[in-house]
Structure 1
Amino acid sequence: MSGSSTPPETGEALFDQVGPALSHLRRRTSGGRGDLTRNLILNVVSDAPGEVTVGAIAAEMGVSQPVVSRTIAACIADGLLRRAASQTDGRRTVLELTPAGESERRRFASEQRVTFEDITAAWDPAERTQFAQFLIRYSQDATAWSAGRTRRREDDAGSDPGST
């Protein structure tokens, strides 16, 4: 890779830099603070395997419900999301992407692709491709890991502590 060199560290020292690097990457490759949060919410709603609530979005993003509620309200006001009655439990309100929300999500993705291409322009094409593949794999594995943790918490909450 040309430009910046990769860190010379290996093992623990290298892995200690992963979290800060991912955080730095998210901050530097978004259009702004509001865009980052809005993009995350639109992607969570789009990627959800079923119905999604405000609480589910907050849990997925690792923030409190009031924090995410403000951005969701703005997304609804801007026509990017809509509230709907749950098809499985009419007492619950779920969120859905509108066509404008899907368009905005695609716009964010396009901007992020351009940013990725700009940042990695001097990279060897094979390294660029491999890095993109690893980022996507990491994202998919993180989603599966998160879903597994959620299932375990739900299973633990549903078990009767007096029965063991």
Structure 2
Amino acid sequence: MTQDDRTPDELLDAIGPAFGKLRRGVLQEVEDPISTKDSTRALLLDMVLGCPQSPGRESHDRGQEMTVGGIAAGMCVDPSVASRMVTDSIKAGYLRRVPSQLDGRRAVLELSEQGLEFMRTFRRRQRAAYEYITAEWPERDRLEFARLMLRYVDAIDDLRNRRPPADA
């Protein structure tokens, strides 16, 4: 049975397992494989880079800085695991701890120039992997899937706007 032969319910039921496959190392199966370690580092660095207080980011929500605790929460891992991941990225030269601009007693995380270059390279490799995986798709389908995936991710980001405030 192909995707086109599935009922709407069958398609929607297949989404969860499909996302599971995406998380199980698909980027190791492409022409220029991306290691698990690089994928994990990129996930961590992307969280720091995506934080509104990161250098080079305009913030409409000042007051957010990325900490080891924020990494742990965002990755749904124990703080000790997040701490080891952060330490690994610091030792690799991709990340540094700096004093908070909001509370000088705390340390926050920011990417080094080497970390920014790592992310530029990683994103080029992700695009190459996407193009390799979808090489036999019509261009229209490749672009439509990319557009819909970005829309999906934006909807995930907007979930916090749908929740009532904690103090309501």
**Normalised TM-score (structure 2):** 0.80
Match of 1:28 among 20, 26, 29: 26
- Counterpart amino acid of 2:52? P
Runs of 4+ residues deviating >6 angstroms: none
Give the aligned partner of residue 61 of structure 2: none
User: 1:90, CA displacement in angstroms?
Assistant: 1.3
Give the aligned partner of residue 83 of structure 1: 97
Give the aligned partner of residue 84 of structure 2: 70
Give the aligned partner of residue 93 of structure 1: 107
The whole-number CA distance in structure 1 between the counterparts of 2:7 and 2:92 is 46
The whole-number CA distance in structure 2 between the counterparts of 1:87 and 1:6 is 51
User: 1:8, CA displacement in angstroms?
Assistant: 3.2
Q: CA RMSD in A?
A: 2.2
**More helix, by proportion:** 1
Could you tell me whether the CA contact under 8 Å between 2:42 and 2:122 is conserved in 1?
A: yes
User: 1:83, CA displacement in angstroms?
Assistant: 0.1
The whole-number CA distance in structure 1 between the counterparts of 2:47 and 2:120 is 13
Q: Does 1:42 align with 2:45?
A: yes
Q: Does 1:140 align with 2:138?
A: no
The whole-number CA distance in structure 1 between the counterparts of 2:8 and 2:123 is 32
User: 1:69, CA displacement in angstroms?
Assistant: 1.6
Give the aligned partner of residue 18 of structure 1: 15
Structure 1's unaligned 5+ residue stretches are 160-164
The higher relative CO (CA closer than 8 Å, separation ≥ 6) is in: 1
The whole-number CA distance in structure 2 between the counterparts of 1:76 and 1:25 is 27
**Normalised TM-score (structure 1):** 0.82
The whole-number CA distance in structure 1 between the counterparts of 2:94 and 2:122 is 13
* Identical-pair percentage: 39
Which segment is superposed worse, 124-133 or 18-27?
A: 18-27
The whole-number CA distance in structure 2 between the counterparts of 1:70 and 1:90 is 23
